[in-house]
């Protein structure tokens, strides 16, 4: 049987890390999912003037402060992407590629994705469009898959699926360097629309189109409604109360994902509230 964590924190931005340190101080058994760089929204900030105690800090410097803090507290970041979370009654099941993690409570701190879906993206979701290439690749053995990659993690996923599907196209939507398997075709263009009949058959680009059976759109975050079935939303944000509780008992949310202002210190503050309230929830259960 797999280990059951007290708290699974999804996201390693200021909200997730603040939840993590507070839960750790209270001796809870936690797992934090996120990325090596913590959050693209931290490292990209040129200069931050409104983080208490650190005026003028750059995003890179803030990342180093956060990293040192969590490392000193022996909090590890599991650099895996959570694809689905299911409320199982007494616990939550978190699906991560071919693995399942279990936790009594979950804190969602996945940030906010501002980009709108492509025309056709929602229409063909589950019928060729997907957000987890490694999960769905076995469906496209011998077929063509096109990955629209918004981050460096998407490169790893693309390399992995190139060993499973017939042909892979990769459309990089970020500027960093990357290293792809030689059998992957890189298309430098901008996706405009997903087309198909009953299933996807084409991706229209700014300057042309590609025939494809699958379109994988790999961004930093996916919509929380897709991540957690049954989660109550308030338009694009997760609905929470003052305790950062969602409509699902044991599931908390914090940071940009709960609404404006989209700011580091608001995210860190909410992360703390979610962390402490998740701790109380567990203590009251025992």
CB nearer to ligand FAD: give 6 or 256: 256
**Rounded Cα gap, residues 214 and 133, in angstroms:** 9
Nearer to ligand FAD, 192 or 239 (CB): 239
CA–CA gap between residue 41 and residue 43 (Å, rounded): 6
Q: Where on the chain is the footprint of ligand FAD (CB under 6 A)?
A: 10-16, 33-35, 38-39, 41-42, 44-45, 48, 50, 81-82, 109-111, 220-222, 255-257, 262-265, 267
**To the nearest whole angstrom, how small is the minimum distance from the Cβ of residue 112 to ligand FAD?**
7
Single out the residue of 149, 116, 111, 144 nearest to residue 131, CA to CA.
149
Largest CA distance in the chain: 60
Q: Pseudo-torsion of CA 96, 254, 234, 237, nearest 10°?
A: -70
Closer to ligand FAD by Cβ: residue 112 or 187: 112
Q: How far is the CB of 65 from ligand FAD (least distance, A)?
A: 14
Nearest distance, CB of residue 79 and ligand FAD, angstroms? 9
Nearest approach in angstroms of CB 118 to ligand FAD is: 19
Strands (E), the chain: 4-10, 30-33, 77-78, 84-87, 92-96, 99-108, 129-130, 144-149, 167-172, 184-186, 191-196, 200-205, 208-211, 214-218, 233-234, 237-238, 251-253
Q: Tell me the two tokens of residue 54.
A: 């650190």
Residue among 121 and 256 whose Cβ is closer to ligand FAD: 256
CB of 193 to ligand FAD, least distance (A): 25
């Amino acid at each position: 049987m797999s280990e059951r964590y007290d708290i699974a924190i999804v996201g390693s931005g200021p909200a997730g890390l603040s939840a993590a340190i507070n839960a750790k101080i209270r001796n809870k058994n936690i797992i934090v999912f996120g990325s090596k760089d913590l959050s693209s929204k931290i490292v990209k900030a040129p200069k931050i003037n409104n983080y208490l105690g650190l005026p003028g800090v750059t995003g890179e410097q803030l990342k180093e402060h956060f990293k040192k803090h969590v490392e000193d507290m022996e909090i590890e970041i599991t650099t895996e992407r959570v694809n689905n979370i299911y409320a199982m009654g007494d616990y939550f099941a978190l699906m991560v590629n071919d693995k399942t993690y279990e936790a009594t409570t979950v804190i969602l701190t996945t940030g906010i994705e501002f980009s709108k879906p492509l025309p056709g993206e929602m229409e063909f979701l589950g019928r060729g469009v997907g957000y987890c290439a490694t999960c769905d690749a076995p469906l496209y053995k011998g077929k063509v898959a096109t990955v629209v990659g918004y981050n460096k993690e998407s490169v790893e996923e693309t390399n992995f699926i190139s060993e499973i599907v017939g042909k892979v196209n990769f459309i990089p939507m970020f500027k960093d360097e990357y290293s792809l398997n030689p059998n992957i075709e890189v298309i430098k263009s901008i996706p405009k629309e997903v087309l198909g009949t009953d299933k996807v058959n084409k991706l229209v680009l700014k300057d042309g189109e590609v025939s494809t059976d699958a379109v994988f759109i790999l961004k930093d975050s996916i919509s929380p409604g897709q991540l957690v079935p049954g989660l109550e939303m308030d338009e694009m944000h997760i609905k929470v109360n003052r305790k950062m509780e969602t409509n699902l008992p044991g599931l908390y949310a914090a940071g940009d994902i709960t609404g404006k202002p989209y700011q580091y210190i608001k995210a860190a503050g909410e992360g703390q509230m979610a962390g402490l309230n998740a701790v109380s929830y567990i203590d009251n259960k025992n």
